[in-house]
Amino acid sequence: MTTPCIVCEEMCPTDPKAIWLERVEEPGRDGRPVRLARPRVEAAIRVTSVGESRDPLNRMLLEN
């Protein structure tokens, strides 16, 4: 959404970081360029939500 954000890199608990930021410039919603720090993620990590549940086959379970 072309919104500058670096929370994932800041919160990455590993050292060295498994997430790093790539500086890019993309057109914003109004067409003008926006400078962003696009996250790049190591292939061996998984990004999940806090409190997420999964079944034995690693499929996400939705709670009602």
- Per-residue pLDDT tens digits for 11-41: 888 888 888 889 999 898 899 998 988 888 8
What pLDDT, on a 0 to 100 scale, did the predictor assign at position 19? 87
Please determine, for residue 7, whether its predicted confidence score (pLDDT) is greater than 70. yes
Q: Which residues contact 60 (CB under 8 A, 6 or more apart)?
A: 52, 53, 54
DSSP 62: P
Please determine, for residue 48, whether its predicted confidence score (pLDDT) is greater than 90. no
Candidates 19, 10, 14; CA nearest to 39 is 19
Once rounded to an integer, what is the mean pLDDT over residues 38-59? 73
What pLDDT, on a 0 to 100 scale, did the predictor assign at position 23? 92
Give the end-to-end CA distance of the chain in Å, rounded to a whole number. 29
Mean pLDDT of all residues belonging to the chain: 80
Q: Supply φ then ψ for residue 29, to 5 degrees.
A: -60, -30
